[in-house]
A and B are shown apart, each in its own frame.
Chain A
């Protein structure tokens, strides 16, 4: 048995795991799939919970910290980034 990790990164509308996916990435450690920028127009799952229902395990939650003073309402990176994994047996 040789387990390899597939990562799915979902960016949610809000910290609610049921909220809509607004951006997404996929990194495949099995080597079977290649994903790159702009390779899909619709998200693989409409929400984090929808991905969980399909067997994806959430392995990282976005932490919520108070903003630095003066930066409370700046926009920069997508804040609600959930990292999910699936482990796949690629054989011996």
Chain B
């Protein structure tokens, strides 16, 4: 069981619900980064999809990264302490590659509210000229299919993962992303790991700040690329927040409450 201080806070969870991702800089120590990078170059054993992730790659650098207390805390907060391994990939961008990958989302075939997470681990420094992964905050609720978004090139608010070695991003499985060009003469590596929850994703994090004002501020964030659909995305967040907190009355202002006011009672006419 992770220590409470390694769990996400409610404010962080709200940011995850609004953005579909969280970023943690420099969480993996340098020595482990170097060992993990060597393991990526050599190849990482591929376990069977659907097996428990705990204990996988034991005694290796990647196994040690997964077992870091902060990684375990993030995992426990979002998908519980014993999620299933879905798949992993070592993403490699060759040197002097000028073309970015097309925008896509990974394997969205799931219409349910419970969500998978994907860790994106950057084992070496990733300056902008090296990439890294471009992500679009707030894209995770969109009902699209993988590369059907490939016509798009740029969005207001897109965020490149420019980071130092040991940085980890965790994202909702629906997040839109794409690998960016690598204009350096070095190969770029990134390790991605997808996990499925096995428990109801209900208040799994540190809820000490459940009533903090920052929670609603995060849930109200307007990503500029939404345009006219910002309100629809707010409703999407309220629905997921209700699922995560178990508070079926939660609202931001008067959005879903408006629908729950069912005008069915007969008016008394004198």
Chain A interface residues (CB < 8 Å from chain B): 9, 11-14, 19-26, 34-41, 43, 73-80
Count of chain B residues with a beta carbon within 8 Å of a chain A beta carbon: 34
Known: A14-B227, A23-B154, A37-B154. 14 other contacts (CB 8 A): A9-B151, A12-B227, A14-B228, A22-B227, A24-B154, A25-B152, A25-B153, A36-B153, A38-B134, A38-B158, A40-B154, A41-B158, A77-B142, A77-B144
Show 12 residue pairs from A and B whose CB-CB distance is below 8 angstroms, ordered by the A residue: A11-B152, A22-B224, A23-B156, A25-B154, A34-B99, A38-B154, A39-B100, A39-B154, A75-B141, A75-B229, A77-B142, A77-B148
Tell me the dominant secondary structure on chain A's binding face: loop
Highest count of chain B CB atoms <10 Å: which of A11, A20, A35: A11
User: Which chain B residues border A11 with CB–CB below 8 Å?
Assistant: 152, 225, 227
Stretch at the interface among B78-86, B204-212, B230-238: B230-238
Q: Which residue of A lies closest to B101 (CB)?
A: A37
Q: Which residues of B contact A78 (CB under 8 A)?
A: 152, 225, 227
Query: Given the interface contacts A73-B232, A75-B141, A75-B142, does A35 sit within 8 Å of B153 by beta carbon?
Result: yes
CB of A41, distance to nearest CB on chain B (Å) = 8
Return the CB mask of B215-249 against A: 1 if under 8 Å, else 0: 00000000011111100110110000000000000
| B135 nearest CB neighbor, chain A only | A38
Whether B141 lies near A37 (C-beta < 8 A) is no
Contact partners of A43 in chain B: CB under 8 A: 154, 156
